[in-house]
Chain A
Amino acid sequence: MTRHVLLIEDNPGDVRLMQEAFRGADPAIELHVARDGLEAVAFLKREGSYAAAPRPDLIFLDLGLPKIDGREVLAGIKEDDSLKAIPTIILTASDAQEDIAKGYQLQANCYLSKPVQLEAFDSLMRGVVDFWLVKAKLPQHR
Chain B
Amino acid sequence: MPRSERDFPIQVLLVEDSPGDVRLTQEAFRDADPAVHLHVANDGVEAMAFLRRRGGHGDAPRPDLILLDLNLPRMDGREVLAHIKEDDDLKTIPTIILTTSEAEVDIVKSYQLQANCYLNKPVQLDAFESLVRSINDFWLTKAQLPLPQ
Chain A residues with Cβ below 8 Å from B126 are: none
Bitwise, A103-142 to B at CB < 8 A (1) or not (0) is 0110101111100000000001001101110011111100
A/B interface sample: 7 pairs, CB < 8 A: A95-B144, A100-B147, A101-B147, A104-B93, A104-B146, A127-B138, A138-B107
**A87–B114 alpha-carbon span in the complex (Å):** 9
Closest-CB distance, A71 to chain B (whole angstroms): 14
Among B112, B137, B144, point to the contact of A111 (Cβ < 8 A). Answer: B144
Among A86, A107, A110, point to the contact of B117 (Cβ < 8 A). Answer: A110
Binding site for A on B (CB under 8 A): 1-2, 85, 88, 91-94, 102, 104, 107-108, 111-112, 114, 116-120, 131, 134, 137-139, 142-147, 149
Closest-CB distance, A94 to chain B (whole angstroms): 9
Closest-CB distance, A55 to chain B (whole angstroms): 13
Bitwise, A60-88 to B at CB < 8 A (1) or not (0) is 00000000000000000010010011110
For the complex of A and B, the 3 pairs showing the least CB-CB separation, nearest first, are: A85-B111, A104-B92, A131-B138
Binding site for B on A (CB under 8 A): 78, 81, 84-87, 95, 97, 100-101, 104-105, 107, 109-113, 124, 127-128, 130-132, 135-140
Given contacts A104-B91, A131-B138, contact A140 B104 (CB under 8 A): yes
**A20–B1 alpha-carbon span in the complex (Å):** 27
Given contacts A95-B2, A97-B147, A136-B119, contact A107 B142 (CB under 8 A): no
The answer to whether A105 touches B91 (Cβ under 8 A) is: yes
Given contacts A100-B146, A111-B144, contact A135 B91 (CB under 8 A): no
The answer to whether B117 touches A136 (Cβ under 8 A) is: yes
Chain B residues with Cβ below 8 Å from A78 are: 114
Chain B residues with Cβ below 8 Å from A107 are: 85, 91, 114
Closest-CB distance, A128 to chain B (whole angstroms): 8
Known interface pairs A97-B1, A107-B85; 9 further A-B residue pairs with C-beta atoms within 8 A, sorted by A's residue number: A84-B114, A87-B117, A100-B145, A100-B147, A104-B93, A112-B144, A130-B134, A136-B118, A137-B119
Select from chain A the residue with minimum beta-carbon distance to B142: A127
Chain A residues with Cβ below 8 Å from B117 are: 87, 109-110, 132, 136
Chain B residues with Cβ below 8 Å from A95 are: 1-2, 144
